[in-house]
Amino acid sequence: MKTCIWTCVAIVALFVSVESLTCYTCDDTILGYCAISGSVICPSTQNSCYSGVVTLSGLLGEVQSKGCIASTNCKNTTQSIFNFKLNITMHCCSTDLCNGAESGFAPLNVWAAMGTLLLAFGVNFSV
């Protein structure tokens, strides 16, 4: 009877220990903001969630990225490409969905700027 109980405890412990981390993702960006976001269960080799921003000096805008990463790869870096500097800023954490949700909609001021540009170029919205 003792063997059966210890076997059941071991099986339950096995299922609890293989639980993986869940992180938010940002698959596509528009004007620097997440356009399509969701969540993903990380593979066992990636033990952290990250939220990253990539900027290229001299160019307007930035690209956001979110997902899973190995904690050893979570580093801020700066690289030179021709006459530009590529900056990668990463924020990492290790609890479920800790890398922040994105609404999928850019802030209101971005939508206002896009509307102004469309009006300035005389885009006709009539059907």
Tell me the pLDDT tens digit for each residue of 6-44: 454 445 444 444 568 999 998 777 777 777 789 999 999
Q: How far is CA 71 from CA 60, 79, 92, 94, in A?
A: 30, 20, 7, 9
Query: Is the distance from CB of 69 to CB of 44 less than 8 angstroms?
Result: no
Out of 7-21, 52-66, 78-92, give the one with best mean pLDDT.
78-92
Please tell me what DSSP assigns to residue 73: G
Superfamily of domain 20-96: CD59 (2.10.60.10)
The token pair at 83 is: 């006459």
d(CA 36, CA 84): 28
